[in-house]
Amino acid sequence: MNPQDALATALAVTDSDTGHRELLQSVVEAARGVFGARAASIIGLDPGTEELVFEAVSGEGEDFLVGNRFPAARGIAGWVLVSAEPVIVDDLAQNPVFDRDIAESTRYVPDALMAAPLLHGDRVLGVLEVLDRDVRRQSALRDLDWLGLFAAQAAAALATVQRARSARQVLHGEGSAELTEVVALVQAFTALPAERRDAGRRLLQALTEALAARP
Amino acid sequence: MTTPHWKSPGGEPLTWRLTDLGDAPLTLDSRWPSPELPPQPLATATGTGAGVRVCVVDSGVVPDHPQVGRLDGSFAVRTGPDGQQVVEPDEIGDTCGHGTACAGIIRSLAPDCELVSLRVLGSGLSGTGEALLAGLRWAVEQRFDVINMSLSTTKRDFVLRLHQLADSAYFAGSLLVASAHNLRVESFPWRFSSVISVGSHDLPDPLHLLYNPVPPVEFFARGVEVPVAWLEGGTRRCTGNSFATPHVAGLCARILGNHPGLTPFQVKSLLHLTSANVRRAP
């Protein structure tokens, strides 16, 4: 593959979300399986709107929940988000309040919930939730440890996905004006027909030298 | 309850030299926590925490929950018009249930303590570190006997100021009881030696305390499937260090109710001596 084609491929890969959904989905599938749970979700924080967004769901709600939003500052997920601490809460269904409007919007009201923050450095990217784990399997302390391990995986995956989204925004002209112009230049170069590639490369080299030259 | 001179508002300044002691007695009784008791009493086994002021720094506390009872004050940290964090009386209560859960645990162990809520979370997603810092500063200035903090921050920008506050609390006689992070994450203030840091064991005994011979987490208390108070008079069973911490805060209130005037160093020593895994050599 010549450098120009490699560059075009890199742009195409950046512009695609192939693999990202599978990456997030694999984490929630594994978490749900290990805990023997009814559902597991990666819920990302949209800091612009202060909402939580379902990014990946396994089990209850997986057909319709991805993309759904709810206010980030509420309930147990909100607590996990602001405290950056995991928690296990049982006996939810027996009690009058459990963010029931949120729970019912997901068409499933659990009896037990585990939630852990998705920590990336000192930022919290979102929350990993596991609903109705099989309590016969392990101790709650061990569950908390395992939840933390899955949350670390989910955080790394979500950070990767978010970086890729930012790159796609740039490709689509939604980034800063400077970046948009540079991307447009790269896209124009990769689109050049074969007979104009050498000329294009010389033009880029001249441009690079001109930009690097001291006034 | 007798208030030690160094805990009264505007009390004595810290001493740097022996000559700074003035009229304060230099000789102390070795038969502590009190002359009437043997050296290692089960100071935590009984007691009501009467006369002990406890502050719950958290998401707020629901007033008049059956398991929480009377609140002696409810405050919140808010951002003032100039951007500064200010502490004001709070009418909102609890935003998620977590603070109410902690308050109920403390009440169960120290039913006669004075309980005050300081809400530092629940007013939005940003600035939580600043709110936590401002809230802790207020609690230390108010000279609470026990400050329960089932919270921490991972932001290193706050470490120095938190450390100074934790040391101020320690020398002012306020016990800062802080949750260790549940994940293997370095956060603060629980890492500081001037606080009492708490993790979880999984026994259902609220009085069962374990001393960790390999700190920084110093004590383990009941933190698994703990029955707790929640919003709207409800209850939950919760797991996490957040719920172990108020067990230790409640035990501290018992100790101080039984033996007013003990320093944080002495209370921590007493917790160590009364831990289930600390035994007299045969």
- Cross-chain Cβ contact B182/A148 below 8 Å: yes
Q: The tokens of B212 are what?
A: 């960790």
Cα separation, B45 vs B163, whole angstroms = 32
The reply to whether B247 belongs to the active site is no
The reply to whether B201 belongs to the active site is no
Among residues B58, B90, B94, B145, the one annotated as catalytic is B58
The reply to whether B58 belongs to the active site is yes
Residue B40 above 50 pLDDT? no
- Cross-chain Cβ contact A97/B179 below 8 Å: no
Kindly list the residues from chain B whose CB atom is less than 8 angstroms away from the CB atom of residue A152: 183
Residue A165 has a pLDDT of 82
Lowest mean pLDDT among A105-109, A153-157, B152-156, B216-220: A105-109
Residue B125 has a pLDDT of 60
Taking a contact as any Cβ pair under 8 Å apart, which residues of chain B between 106 and 145 contact chain A? 121-122, 124-125, 128
Give tens-digit pLDDT for A174-203. Answer: 767 777 788 788 888 888 888 888 888 888
Phi-psi region of A30 (alpha: psi -120 to 50; beta: other; left: phi over 0): alpha
Cα separation, A29 vs A21, whole angstroms = 12
Read off the CATH number of the domain in which B75 is found. Answer: 3.40.50.200
Residue B2 above 60 pLDDT? no
The answer to whether position B20 is within a domain reads no
Give tens-digit pLDDT for B55-96. Answer: 999 999 998 899 999 999 999 999 888 889 999 999 988 888
The answer to whether position B249 is within a domain reads yes
> Residue A28, SS3?
helix
Q: What is the mean pLDDT of residues B109-131?
A: 85
The answer to whether position B94 is within a domain reads yes
Lowest mean pLDDT among A73-77, B5-9, B23-27: B5-9
Per cent of chain A over pLDDT 70 is 86
Nearest Cβ partner for B96 among A76, A119, A141: A76
CA distance from start to end of chain B = 37
Tokens 């979300």, residue? Answer: A17
Nearest C-alpha neighbor of A152 from the set A71, A89, A84: A84
The answer to whether position B280 is within a domain reads no
Residue B127 has a pLDDT of 60
Check if A92 contacts B (Cβ < 8 Å): yes
Question: Alpha helix locations (H) across A53-139?
Answer: 75-83, 100-105
Residue A215 above 60 pLDDT? yes
Kindly list the residues from chain A whose CB atom is less than 8 angstroms away from the CB atom of residue B128: 82
Which residue spans within chain A are E strands per DSSP? 39-46, 51-59, 69-71, 87-90, 113-120, 123-131
> Residue A131, SS3?
strand
CA distance A199 to chain B (A): 51
Mutation test of the interface with chain A: which of B220, B236, B243, choosing the one with the most A Cβ atoms within 10 A?
Answer: B236
Which sign does the torsion angle of CA A161, A162, A166, A169 carry? positive
pLDDT greater at residue B281 or residue A45: A45
> Residue A21, SS3?
helix
Cα separation, B133 vs B131, whole angstroms = 5
Q: The tokens of B193 are what?
A: 């030696």
Q: What is the DSSP string of B69-118?
A: ---SEEEEEEE-TTS-EEEEE-SS--SSSHHHHHHHHHHHH-TTSEEEEE
Q: What is the mean pLDDT of residues A86-103?
A: 71
CA distance B235 to chain A (A): 7
The answer to whether position B225 is within a domain reads yes
Q: Does residue A215 have a cis bond before it (omega within 30 degrees)?
A: no
Phi-psi region of B124 (alpha: psi -120 to 50; beta: other; left: phi over 0): left
Specify the pairing of strand B219-222 against strand B196-201: parallel
Give tens-digit pLDDT for B224-236. Answer: 999 999 988 888 9
Among residues B59, B65, B90, B98, the one annotated as catalytic is B98
The answer to whether position B207 is within a domain reads yes
Give tens-digit pLDDT for B183-232. Answer: 988 899 999 999 999 999 999 999 999 999 888 899 999 999 999 999 88
Q: The tokens of B127 are what?
A: 């600035």
- Cross-chain Cβ contact B235/A91 below 8 Å: yes
Among residues B174, B242, B247, B275, the one annotated as catalytic is B242
The answer to whether position B279 is within a domain reads no
- Cross-chain Cβ contact B230/A95 below 8 Å: yes
The answer to whether position B75 is within a domain reads yes
Nearest Cβ partner for B202 among A73, A81, A139: A139
Check if B100 contacts A (Cβ < 8 Å): no
CA distance B149 to chain A (A): 11
Helix, strand, coil percentages (3-state) for chain A, rounded to 5, are 50, 20, 30
Check if A119 contacts B (Cβ < 8 Å): yes
Which sign does the torsion angle of CA B163, B149, B243, B210 carry? positive
Per cent of chain B over pLDDT 70 is 82
Q: The tokens of A21 are what?
A: 């959904």
Radius of gyration in angstroms for the set of CA atoms belonging to chain B, rounded to a whole number: 18
**CA A52, A75, A153: angle at the middle one, nearest 5?**
50
Radius of gyration in angstroms for the set of CA atoms belonging to chain A, rounded to a whole number: 22
Domain containing B189 equals 45-273
Residue A13 above 80 pLDDT? no
Domains in chain A with CATH codes: 3-13+170-212 (no CATH), 17-165 (3.30.450.40)
Nearest CA in chain B to A126: B125
Phi-psi region of B55 (alpha: psi -120 to 50; beta: other; left: phi over 0): beta
Nearest CA in chain B to A111: B236
Q: How many domains does chain B have?
A: 1
